[in-house]
Structure 1
Amino acid sequence: MSAGPASTAIENRLLTQPVGRLFVSNALPMAVVMSMGGLLNVIDGIFVGRFVGAQALASVSLAFPVVMLLTALTTLAGGGMSSLLARHLGAGARTQAGAVFAGAHGLALAISAALIAGALSVGPVIISALAAGNAAVAGGAQSYLLILILGAPIQFALGLHADALRNEGRAGQIAMLSVLVNLLNIGANYIAIVLFGLGVAGSAIGTVGAQTLGLALLLVLRERDRDLLPLGALRRHSWLSGWLQIFSLGLPLCLTFIGMALVSSVVLLVVGTTATNHATFIAAYGVVTRILGLAFLPQMAIALSTQSITGNNAGAGRLDRAGAALRLAMGSAFLWCLGVTLTGAFLGEPLGAMFSNDREVVSAVAAILRPMTALYVVTGPILVLALHFQAMGYPLRTAALTLTKPWLLTPALLLVLNAVAGIDGLWFAFPIADAALFVLALTLVVRNRLTAPISTTPHAKEAA
């Protein structure tokens, strides 16, 4: 089949390289880079749990929804900017690209200001409610979050410059800097938590310090590389322009992460009102979120690689290659998630013991992890399918597969199962939600007959 309109004088490896080699060469580096952030969270949790204690672990666990909110807001500015920036750069419109780059900085700064104002005004009340009145746990969480939120402008700027460099063809340099910054973050957290004895505040200080250094390195790189958008573009263009476009393009992925924060908040509220030893379960749930956060990132890398391959090949009319990549990616994600399911079933207690020497916390980790991962095997293939739909131009199907579970299924099931079965039945909300999402995905596959050729033009209803 002809490469069609995508054929140019410049070879596009996404259209010509064997699909298997193409998939591995894209997915493997991305998995390594993305897993570094998850590994940092795991090691940070080990430092806090082993060297500070179970109560400190509960404090940082209580902060997880807000940390996810920070991640979501980072993707809101950076993800929206990336879509516009890539198209302008591809068209050679560097002036427009510079304007988008500057506008994204203004939006990120406005979000930071609103976040800091909210943290100072209503933050303590929210944290106290999540802690179910446990003043010690709430106090640790407040200290931890205050430092991270005050450092949010640095986190957002780091995300913007990393996304810009990726769109400017510097993915390899971003990968190396990502590994370096995360290793520095691990070292800084160890020094602050263990050597200086700063506890949970030390974890936040180490994180902000490493982010500051990472941003400085990116600024130096941009200043020295004349092929990149110059830093002067931030002075020449208005920081108030393009906010609506950036916001609208970054919103879908942002909502996915906010949905994760919503689920975590519901869990913490339910545990706080149900469990008599709620601090133990909060600490254990925090351990589980770190483990599953690390497990999620490789499958996200697989899905993003599929998105790139599908989009390029569908645009060139090579649906055979897009289909082959989709099957390979879904199979790879299935095997990865099967490993996570087996780990949750049999290794819950050893994993819990890595984070804490409190036997109650260790037992609770195993009790939570087993049901939560019972049907985890379907989550990776569904995520791959969702981003395949996105690359094909079907936003409603993508939204159905990415937003239904965190925004509708899981919160409702958590409340119902807690009312019916208490804390022991609470965790079965996750596999039930996974089963329902699997049925939805299967329905979409059958309805749209993915085995048959699919038009590269989105249906009118979804394109609207």
Structure 2
Amino acid sequence: MSVGPAPETRKNQFLTRPIGRLFLSNALPMAVVLSTGGLLNVIDGIFVGRFVGAQALAAVSLAFPVVMLLTALTTLAGGGMSSLLARHLGAGSRTEAEAVFAGAHGLALAISAVLVAGALALGPATVSALAAGNSAVAGPAQSYLLILILGAPIQFGLGLHADAMRIEGRAGHIAVLSVLVNLLNIGANYVAIVLLGLGVAGSALGTVSAQTLGLVLLLLVRARDRDLLPLGALLRASWLSGWRQILSLGLPLCLNFIGMALVASMVLLVIGTTDADHAAYIAAYGVVTRVLGLAFLPQMAIALTTQSITGNNAGAGRMDRATSALRLAMGSALLWCLGVTLAGAFAGASLGALFSDDRSVVAAVAAILRPMTALYAITGPILVLALHFQAMGYPLRTAALTLVKPWVLTPALLVVLNALAGIDRLWFAFPVADGVLLVLALTMVRRGHLIAPVQGTADAKEAA
């Protein structure tokens, strides 16, 4: 592996620009990129709820766990690649960066094949179980998911190239393309859902079409920009290289999203066991997931910016800059999440009314959102800290901050609270889990795990 400064290092903005300006120039475009996608998801839900009906809204809500699984698998290849790519580029190791870039494409292709095969074999039975036998909800959900899963290779490719360009300092390019593609997607969804009457299947077709356009545009940008890793690297390097490292670094973030899908599935199953209005609560929970999904994306943009800055500077040995960026990012994430907490406390009914005129759905949205966001303010800083560790090559620390809540705390609390207090108190599982995670994060910081060298400690084994 080549080490030391290379000609490319002198062009690397992550190593030279003032931290405040660097943070804003990357975080703001990424927030635009992710938020326009989240806004599309919200508007799509409004189209379905307003023009198709509450049953259709319940159908796309039922599909949420699988949609989160697709997001998780996108981060498995892209997230792991980003950590390695940033450190290689920061160290000026362009050949190694090209090898990682190619290997991530091979891994994404393999994941796509397994996903499609699994969906065809197990998909219908899984959706039927989540729908608690409601065929009016399960049928549209199956059609919606089949289209998205068959389009998964496009989604994975789009994620890889967007992550790579972000690490290469082209967040602004991604922002412009994202706004364009998502605006076209909103228009296509309106035509398919409202004018053509294709229902939830029209939503899925619009999404896959927009992802295809986005991938084509990113490939054109990469082909024209000589400072980016060339497309020719995909022909020169092996598509089998670096899978183990990519998987080890991408797995914690991937499992975090899969954990969200697990939690959503458990909530849907628990709702099916209660005496409540199942369709209304499923639709309301779908509204909440879309709203909180949109709220999550700006903090994810902040965390991804931290990953880019930390990775490049850790590769160049500039941990002082990485530390400054981490502090700025955690403060920014805290302010954003405080705003989300206030919105959850006071605007739940208003948000629910955007999606449906069904009073039971609107009331359920407010009842769910208020407790779920009670301690939301701490989630952003913890995510930023986790991505800081991931960028430095420490998957176990990342896993501790991203997996304990969705895989252990929240599922257990959902079961206990449902058994003890029913659906009205079920939603307090989320703030209780947030509080426990805060204690874990503070313990890690107190033990000196906030900043650690890339090599030279016991955790070097973890980075390897």
> Under a length normalisation based on structure 2, what TM-score does the superposition of the two structures give?
0.89
The SS at the match of 2:447 is helix
Q: Does 1:44 align with 2:48?
A: no
**Structure 2: distance between partners of 1:223 and 1:12:** 19
Q: What displacement does 1:242 show?
A: 4.1
CA contact (8 A) 2:341 2:375 kept: yes
Letter aligned with residue 362 of structure 2: V
Letter aligned with residue 266 of structure 2: V
Letter aligned with residue 244 of structure 1: R
Q: Indicate the residue corresponding to 2:430 in structure 1.
A: 430
Q: Indicate the residue corresponding to 1:216 in structure 2.
A: 216
Which digits, 9 at most, give the CA deviation of each residue in 1:111-160, with x for residues without a partner? 22221121111111000110111111011110100111111121122222
CA contact (8 A) 1:338 1:377 kept: yes
Q: Indicate the residue corresponding to 1:34 in structure 2.
A: 34
Q: Indicate the residue corresponding to 2:409 in structure 1.
A: 409
Q: Indicate the residue corresponding to 2:206 in structure 1.
A: 206
Letter aligned with residue 459 of structure 1: T
Q: Percent identity?
A: 80
The SS at the match of 1:122 is helix
Which digits, 9 at most, give the CA deviation of each residue in 1:221-275, with x for residues without a partner? 3444455555455455554444334333322221111111111111111111224
Q: Which range moves more in the overlay, 366-375 or 25-34?
A: 25-34
Change (3 A) 1:115 1:409: same
**Structure 1 segment 132-281 matched on structure 2, within 5 A:** 132-225=132-225, 228-235=228-235, 238-281=238-281
Change (3 A) 1:362 1:270: same
Q: Which range moves more in the overlay, 123-132 or 240-249?
A: 240-249
**Structure 1: distance between partners of 2:441 and 2:85:** 32
Q: Which range moves more in the overlay, 172-181 or 95-104?
A: 95-104
Letter aligned with residue 384 of structure 2: V
Q: Indicate the residue corresponding to 2:329 in structure 1.
A: 329
CA-based RMSD: 2.8
Change (3 A) 1:435 1:399: same
Q: What displacement does 1:331 show?
A: 2.3
Which digits, 9 at most, give the CA deviation of each residue in 1:277-317, with x for residues without a partner? 11111110011011111111111222233334445556667
Letter aligned with residue 424 of structure 1: D
Letter aligned with residue 257 of structure 2: F
**Structure 2: distance between partners of 1:418 and 1:329:** 36
Change (3 A) 1:275 1:241: farther
Letter aligned with residue 153 of structure 1: P
Letter aligned with residue 119 of structure 1: A
Q: Indicate the residue corresponding to 1:460 in structure 2.
A: 458
Change (3 A) 1:411 1:148: same
Change (3 A) 1:243 1:305: closer
Aligned residues: 458
**Structure 2: distance between partners of 1:192 and 1:368:** 31
Change (3 A) 1:359 1:458: farther
The SS at the match of 1:133 is coil
**Structure 2: distance between partners of 1:55 and 1:203:** 15
Which digits, 9 at most, give the CA deviation of each residue in 1:159-197, with x for residues without a partner? 223233334443332221122111111111111111111
The SS at the match of 1:41 is helix
**Structure 1 segment 99-138 matched on structure 2, within 5 A:** 99-138=99-138
Q: What displacement does 1:199 show?
A: 0.5
Change (3 A) 1:455 1:226: closer
Q: What displacement does 1:200 show?
A: 0.4
**Structure 1: distance between partners of 2:277 and 2:301:** 37
Change (3 A) 1:370 1:135: same
Change (3 A) 1:225 1:30: closer
Which digits, 9 at most, give the CA deviation of each residue in 1:295-352, with x for residues without a partner? 1111122223333444555666766554443333222222211111110011000000
Q: Indicate the residue corresponding to 2:54 in structure 1.
A: 54
**Structure 2: distance between partners of 1:24 and 1:227:** 22
Letter aligned with residue 326 of structure 1: L
**Structure 1: distance between partners of 2:140 and 2:432:** 34
Q: Indicate the residue corresponding to 2:418 in structure 1.
A: 418
Letter aligned with residue 146 of structure 1: L
Q: Indicate the residue corresponding to 1:63 in structure 2.
A: 63
CA contact (8 A) 2:12 2:90 kept: no
Q: Which range moves more in the overlay, 398-407 or 55-64?
A: 398-407
Letter aligned with residue 68 of structure 2: M
Which digits, 9 at most, give the CA deviation of each residue in 1:88-123, with x for residues without a partner? 666776666555444433322222222112111111
**Structure 2: distance between partners of 1:390 and 1:77:** 13
**Structure 1: distance between partners of 2:244 and 2:428:** 40
Change (3 A) 1:84 1:444: closer
CA contact (8 A) 1:395 1:463 kept: no
Q: What displacement does 1:353 show?
A: 0.4
Q: Does 1:358 align with 2:371?
A: no
Which digits, 9 at most, give the CA deviation of each residue in 1:403-426, with x for residues without a partner? 110111001111111111111111
Change (3 A) 1:160 1:385: closer
Which digits, 9 at most, give the CA deviation of each residue in 1:54-106, with x for residues without a partner? 11010000000100111111122223333445556667766665554444333
The SS at the match of 2:183 is helix
Change (3 A) 1:447 1:78: closer
Q: What displacement does 1:439 show?
A: 1.4
**Structure 2: distance between partners of 1:454 and 1:6:** 22
**Structure 2: distance between partners of 1:265 and 1:166:** 32
CA contact (8 A) 1:144 1:201 kept: yes
The SS at the match of 1:374 is coil
Change (3 A) 1:352 1:134: same
CA contact (8 A) 2:88 2:315 kept: no
Change (3 A) 1:458 1:357: farther
CA contact (8 A) 1:393 1:458 kept: no
> Under a length normalisation based on structure 1, what TM-score does the superposition of the two structures give?
0.89
Q: Which range moves more in the overlay, 206-215 or 440-449?
A: 440-449
Q: Indicate the residue corresponding to 1:289 in structure 2.
A: 289
